[in-house]
Amino acid sequence: MSTSPQQAREALGARLRELRQDARLAQRRLAELAGWHESKVSKIEHGKQTPSEGDIHTWCRLVGAEDHVPDLIATVRNISTAYREWRREWRAGAHRRQQAIATQEAETTLFRIFEPMVIPGLLQTREYAAQRFADNIAFHGTGGDAETAVQARMDRQDVLRRGDRDRRFHMVMCEVALTIGLADDDVMIAQLERLLTLSILPRLSLGIIPTRARHRRAPHHGFWVFDERLVLVDTAAAELAITQPREIAVYIQEFSWLASSAVYGAAARELINAAIRTLQAS
């Protein structure tokens, strides 16, 4: 998984070093063939310098690994944008991140969204979203623009009904997301009622993984897959943007396996109704 920019540079350097070693080329010889100073090869391999896309093409041509070019170039393009620290993002304004995601969503035809314990943002009520933003702002100690962030999230939800007729949404969550105390009971009940309403949208395939269903994969964390070009992953400290084709393929497979444990349609709505009854009785 991609982490900080420096770690990403180091990982890229290690991959390039392995390709050079597999080709049995010394650093000095590779530099001579490329017309570079020898220190450039060392700096790249140790994560001290980010290679250009031209450097990647040259490196792979000289070591006979041109089939690695697409993945490596995706890595280079991703280094500066792969790691968005939440504290810094929220200090700049939580609504700005919502607007940036909206841009990605407008360009997406197929959404694959998995959330183990949170209702996906595109399905949230205003009140549920407000409590989530308030808690996150308090956690990161940034102060903030919760109201504008909530409105930006509500504006994003237009993508569910507008735009390309071929746009599809496949969302999966764990059953615990229906009752976990991330919001007050009355807010959760209204949120679940909204899920019932949205679950019949023709563009949306809403799956819920029952707690006792056979899980082929452990639900480690939430992630959003935008077509086959981008994956966004939330961690406690940051959002990771993954663009390498081989890593995206892993997340698409992960989503497929998780989705295979979910129930849909009437069975999913029965789980939602059962959760509503549980909350009403508490």
Separation between Cα atoms, residue 154 and residue 166, nearest integer Å: 22
What pLDDT is attached to residue 275?
98
Question: In the chain, which stretches have pLDDT less than 50?
Answer: 1-3
pTM reported for the whole predicted model: 0.74
What pLDDT is attached to residue 1?
40
What pLDDT is attached to residue 86?
63
What pLDDT is attached to residue 96?
76
Separation between Cα atoms, residue 33 and residue 17, nearest integer Å: 16
What pLDDT is attached to residue 282?
84
Which secondary structure element, helix H or strand E, spans residue 114, and what is its range? strand 110-115
For residues 193 and 157, the answer to whether their CB atoms sit within 8 Å is: no
Only one residue has tokens 């940036």, namely 100
Q: In this structure, what token pair is assigned to residue 40?
A: 């450039």
What pLDDT is attached to residue 280?
96
Which secondary structure element, helix H or strand E, spans residue 16, and what is its range? helix 5-22
